[in-house]
């Protein structure tokens, strides 16, 4: 199947220009658009057909259904859709912004709108999708598009304040990838709070937010004079804690660990993980409301809604040790 990336390469233009040639043709100059359409025809590209009427169906795009962060969000949006007799199509991505954008381009013309959780996707691609059917973003901001931000900066500030209150003055931070919007927001809030409280925040990673990345990060943690760790999400925190245990370092005793999201495993781990919860139910309802309003009135001004999570204190955090070896 021909992709937009292949068309862009042959036509000598950017992927966003190809996308706009199909979704917003008036935004591309005639000569360039004609060249792109000719290349697309030669390669056998078939864009999604335009809708002639509402379908009563929306799409929800998530990067990875296997990640335990996403099922509660899917359930919350599905429940909100059911209450309004809206059909929901869940699209599972590949954690690859380019592949994910192409998958959405194949789907977007077949639904009335889409809720998109793609914090690394290019803003131009997102706006091109919105030109076909209205979209609402989750944990991402692009000018002109409505968005819902879950677990906003307040949660990161609470995490740092909690550690500072326990006497921790040197804290390791395990960040996600640098182009991940959520990671940028959480890290910036944590750095601001640490500076305000006189703590040192040492950023050790910009990695995929996975268990395996947390395992690798634990050895970096042990190489630094820190007494606590804040991880971008619970999976990173679990990997870090288990690797620390392998090295004879006990989370919650020798070193404190905090995650984000409060997935169901957080309370089941040993020690139970201190983490910032995610307001899934409110977030799903708000995202659907913003989308249905935009479907009814595409000219409606876009706004961003911030929903803060709260710190849930469990056994993986404790007062700072008297000394660090």
C-alpha distances in Å from residue 236, one per residue of 39, 176, 229, 232, 312: 44, 9, 10, 7, 17
What contacts 98, CB < 8 A, 6 or more positions away?
Answer: 5, 15
Q: Which of 145, 85, 144, 135 is nearest to 113 (CA)?
A: 135
Burial class (CB in 10 A: 0-12, 13-18, 19+), 213: buried
Which ranges of the chain does DSSP label H, i.e. alpha helix? 4-11, 15-23, 30-43, 70-83, 97-107, 123-132, 153-165, 181-197, 211-222, 234-246, 265-268, 280-296
Task: Write down the pTM of the prediction.
Answer: 0.82
Percentage of residues of the chain with pLDDT beyond 70:
96
Mean pLDDT of 34-55: 80
pLDDT for 101: 84
For the chain, count helices (H), then strands (E): 12, 12
Phi-psi region of 116 (alpha: psi -120 to 50; beta: other; left: phi over 0): beta
Q: Which SS3 state, helix, strand or coil, does residue 156 take?
A: helix
d(CA 185, CA 150): 11
Inter-residue contact 7 to 43 (CB < 8 Å):
yes
Closest by CA position to 265, among listed 69, 70, 66? 69
Of 48-52, 81-85, 170-174, the one with minimum mean pLDDT is: 48-52
- Region of residue 52 (phi > 0: left; psi between -120 and 50: alpha; otherwise: beta): alpha
**What tens digit of pLDDT does each residue of 96-145 get?**
888 888 889 889 989 999 999 998 888 888 988 898 899 999 999 999 99
Average pLDDT over residues 17-32: 79
* pLDDT tens per residue, range 72-100: 999 999 999 999 999 999 999 887 888 88
CB atoms within 10 A of CB 265: 15
- CB neighbours (10 Å) of residue 98? 16
Query: Confidence band (pLDDT; 50, 70, 90) for 22?
Result: confident
Tell whether the torsion through CA atoms of 49, 50, 52 and 53 is positive or negative: positive
- DSSP per-residue string spanning 111-137: SS-EEE--TTS-HHHHHHHHHHS-EEE
Domains (ranges, CATH) in the chain? 1-47 (1.10.260.40), 153-277 (3.40.50.2300)
pLDDT tens across 161-171, in order? 999 999 999 99
Q: Sorting pLDDT into bands at 50, 70 and 90, what band is 24?
A: low
Residue 44: its pLDDT value, please? 85
Question: CA triplet 195, 316, 166: central angle to 5 degrees?
Answer: 40
């Amino acid at each position: 199947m021909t992709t937009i990336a292949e068309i862009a390469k042959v036509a000598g233009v950017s992927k966003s220009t190809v996308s706009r040639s199909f979704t917003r043709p008036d935004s591309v100059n005639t000569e360039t658009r004609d060249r792109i359409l000719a290349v697309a025809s030669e390669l056998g590209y078939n864009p999604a057909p335009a809708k002639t009427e509402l379908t009563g169906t929306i799409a929800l795009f998530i990067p990875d259904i296997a990640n335990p962060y996403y099922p509660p969000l899917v359930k919350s949006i599905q429940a909100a859709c059911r209450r309004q007799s809206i059909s929901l199509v869940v699209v599972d991505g590949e954690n690859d912004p380019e592949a994910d954008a192409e998958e959405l381009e194949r789907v977007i013309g077949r639904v009335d709108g889409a809720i998109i959780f793609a914090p690394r996707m290019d803003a131009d691609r997102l706006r091109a999708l919105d030109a076909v059917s209205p979209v609402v973003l989750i944990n991402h901001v692009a000018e002109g598009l409505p968005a819902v931000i879950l677990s906003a900066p307040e949660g990161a500030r609470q995490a740092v304040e909690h550690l500072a209150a326990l006497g921790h003055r040197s804290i390791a931070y395990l960040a996600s990838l640098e182009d991940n919007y959520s990671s940028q927001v959480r890290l910036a809030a944590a750095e601001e709070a640490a500076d305000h409280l006189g703590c040192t925040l040492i950023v050790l990673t910009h990695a995929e937010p996975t268990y395996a990345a947390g395992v690798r990060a634990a050895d970096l943690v042990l190489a630094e004079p820190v007494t606590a760790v804040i991880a971008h999400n619970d999976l990173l925190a679990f990997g870090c804690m288990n690797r620390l245990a392998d090295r004879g370092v006990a989370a919650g005793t020798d070193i404190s660990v905090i995650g984000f999201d409060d997935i169901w495993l957080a309370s089941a781990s040993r020690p139970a993980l201190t983490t910032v919860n995610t307001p899934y139910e409110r977030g799903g309802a708000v995202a659907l409301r913003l989308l249905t309003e935009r479907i009814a009135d595409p000219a409606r001004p876009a706004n961003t809604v911030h929903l803060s999570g709260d710190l849930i204190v469990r056994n993986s955090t404790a007062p700072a040790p008297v000394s660090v070896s």
